Structure formats: structure tokens, C-alpha cells
Amino acid sequence: MLAGKENIKLLDSPQKIVITTHHKPDGDALGSSLGLGQWLRARGHDVSIIVSSDFPTFLDWMPGREEVLIFPQDPERYQKLFDDASLIFCLDYSVLSRTNILEPIIREAKGQKWMIDHHLDPEDFADLSYWDSNAAATAQLVYRFICEELNGHDTLNSDMATCLYTGIMTDTGSFRFKAANAEVHRIIADLIEIGVKNWEIHQNVYNSSTENRLKFLGYCLLNCLEVIPEYNTAIFALSKDDLQQFSITTGDTEGLVNYALSIKGIRLAGLFVDRTELIKLSLRSIGEIPCNEICKNHFNGGGHLNASGGSSTEDLLTVVKRFKEVLPQYKEILTA
């Protein structure tokens, strides 16, 4: 699980570090980056967190959020940080293509690359990799890495713990998935002891909708949901027009796919969104239905068994049609 351990001694002296994570960072991407970043900074390292895009507004409250650098906002200055870095952390992604515009920059950077991640099929690019596809979240691995590999538990403070808690909470659907095992709950208990106000985090992340976003949810449930009973599947397909009507931005569709999965008997749920240049899709499933295989084989994506994503350059109706054509292959497990 830990490969390249000999490189860890690099952290014995102050380093110039850049932390990166995947495009359109989610709670785990941002939580693990901010948690690790603050811990490294407290140890005397010079740390920058650089991401390729904006992220959902429901993460705006996170401690240290104002320090996150969004690459397209000042590419020349941020390129220099990559050029000067002796160490680049790659958090919450296992293939460099998930960093979007940062991919060539990270590939060409001279500094060591350390990956901490829980996604399947890792690419072989890292000088050190702390990888466990059974982990519930990258934030869980960051906690373990700090405590077990860097002997740093005693210097975790409540801000760092808050960021790590948020990562684990969002990637486990508030501790409801199978991966939220006893170890995860022990870590959560420890983070609360360190000072996490868990009720405030739930409030900040889940009760921060605008009225508009809630109405958009109602609109989607009424107008964009299609149930395909013969395959125990339900999908949402959102056109550009649907998004424009409600001025939908990054993060506003987060969690929508779970409403399709919440219908009794539904085992596979999909969300198809007509974004500016691509159709982005998200799949969720229960049991053995392999969302990641469907995304990998048909939609240029991947992810976890029960939660994965992909994209397509075709139009919305064609992508939905293609998805429906895939379902017969999985009829047996969808209807088991």
C-alpha cells in the first residue's frame, strides 16, 4: 500500500510543496488537500494548494479555503510554483488526466510526486504512493499517512480535523456506505475529540441550499426523472436549457443522482448533464452492479464500483440512448 517509503525522509527538512487534486474538487478532494496542507505548513513547509477549476459553493466555509489557488486565474504565477516545487502531492486521483489542464504541468514538473488516493487502476507516475482502494476517502488515507507514517497525530488541530472529517463525510454519503467501516468510525471519533464540531459541518454542507437550488431539485424530480422498471434503473437527464432556467453552477447538481437511487427497488441510477462542452454523467449503484465498468467501457470514465463518472462529446439524447443500450448486458444483476 505504501510504495516508495524511502522518499519520506524528504519531509525531514523544509520543502516547497504543491498540493494538487482532481478537476472540479469535491468535499474529499478539498478536505484532504486543506487538511494535509495545514498540517505540512505547521511542520515548517512552504505549501501551495493549486486546483484546475472552481468548486461547489457549499464548500466555501472550509478552514483555509481562501488559500486555494485556482490555476486559470493566474497561470503564470502558479506555473512558477510548480517549477519551484520539490514535492507535489497528488490527492484523490489515481490518473493524471483527472487534473484536467494541470496534467501536462504535473507530468513535466521536476519535483517528486506523491500520490495519496483510493481510486482503482492507478497510473504509474508517483515516486511515493499511499494507495488503498478499500479506503472510504482520501481524507481517511491522509489521516493514516500523518498518524502512521509521519508520526504526526499530536499536531493535528481542529481546523485540520474539520477538513479531514468533511472529506470522509462527503465521500461516504454521511457514513452510510459499506466503506464507512469500524476504522472510519474510530477515525471520526478521534477527529471529534480533536475538536471537530460535526453538527456544524453537516449544517454547512447539507443545509446551505439556496431557494433556487431547492426549486431546481423539485423541477428535476417532476420533469427530468425517468424510471426504467425492467432494469431497476432510474435516470435524470438535464439539458442546457434546464440548467439555464435555474442558473445552475458547479455543485448545484451534487447529490441529485441519489434521489434516483432512493426509489424502492432501484439498483442503478444515472445523472446526465449537458455541460458547456461535454455531457457529464454520474452513475450510482447498489450491490455488485459495476458503475465503474460501465463508465470505463462506454463513457470515457471510471471510478468506484458503486459510484463513478464519465463524459461524452455526443449530444444528450444520444448519450442517454447509448446508456439504455448497455443495460441489457447487466440485466441479470440488475434484476437479481
Name which of Mn ion, ligand 5GP, none residue 34 binds, using a CB cut-off of 5 to 8 Å depending on partner kind.
none
Q: Which of 270, 308, 312, 330 binds ligand 5GP (CB under 6 A)?
A: 308
Distance CA 20, CA 91 (A): 6
Q: Would you mind telling me the total number of residues written for the chain in this entry?
A: 336
27 near ligand 5GP, judged by CB under 6 A: no
CB-neighbour burial class of residue 23 (10 A; exposed 0-12, middle 13-18, buried 19+): middle
56 near ligand 5GP, judged by CB under 6 A: no
31 near ligand 5GP, judged by CB under 6 A: no
303 near ligand 5GP, judged by CB under 6 A: yes
Name which of Mn ion, ligand 5GP, none residue 311 binds, using a CB cut-off of 5 to 8 Å depending on partner kind.
ligand 5GP
122 near ligand 5GP, judged by CB under 6 A: no
Q: Which is nearer to Mn ion, 171 or 254 (CB)?
A: 171
Amino acid, single-letter form, for residue 317: L
Name which of Mn ion, ligand 5GP, none residue 282 binds, using a CB cut-off of 5 to 8 Å depending on partner kind.
ligand 5GP
Please report how many Cα atoms fall inside a 13 Å half-sphere around the Cα of residue 210, on the Cβ side. Answer: 12
35 near ligand 5GP, judged by CB under 6 A: no
Query: Other CB atoms closer than 10 Å to residue 210's CB: what's the count?
Result: 12
Question: Given the rule CB under 5 A, which residues bind Mn ion?
Answer: 28, 92, 138, 171
The C-alpha cell at 116 is: 495519496
User: Nearest residue to ligand 5GP, using CB?
Assistant: 309
Binding-residue pattern over the window 310 to 329 for ligand 5GP, x denoting contact by CB under 6 A: xx------------------
304 near ligand 5GP, judged by CB under 6 A: yes
Q: Which of 113, 119, 144, 213 binds ligand 5GP (CB under 6 A)?
A: 119
307 near ligand 5GP, judged by CB under 6 A: yes
Residue 312, H or E segment? strand 307-312
Name which of ligand 5GP, Mn ion, none residue 138 binds, using a CB cut-off of 5 to 8 Å depending on partner kind.
Mn ion
113 near ligand 5GP, judged by CB under 6 A: no
| Window of 72-80, 201-209, 302-310, 326-334 that interacts with ligand 5GP by CB under 6 A | 302-310
Smallest distance, Å, CB 42 to ligand 5GP?
28
Edge-first strand order for the sheet with 87-91 is 2-3, 128-131, 112-117, 87-91, 16-21, 46-51, 68-70
DSSP sequence for 144-198: HIIIIIS--GGG--HHHHHHHHHHHHHHTTTTTSTT--HHHHHHHHHHHHHT--H
Phi, psi angle pair for 73, to nearest 5°:
-75, -25
Smallest distance, Å, CB 71 to ligand 5GP?
18
Per rule CB under 6 A, count of chain residues that contact ligand 5GP? 11
Q: Which is nearer to ligand 5GP, 47 or 59 (CB)?
A: 59
DSSP sequence for 70-118: EGGGSHHHHHHHHHH-SEEEEES-SSGGGGGGGHHHHHH--SEEEEEE-
Q: Which is nearer to Mn ion, 138 or 308 (CB)?
A: 138
Check if the beta carbon of residue 168 is closer than 8 Å to that of residue 136.
yes
Which residues sit at the interface with ligand 5GP, rule CB under 6 A?
119, 282, 301-304, 307-311
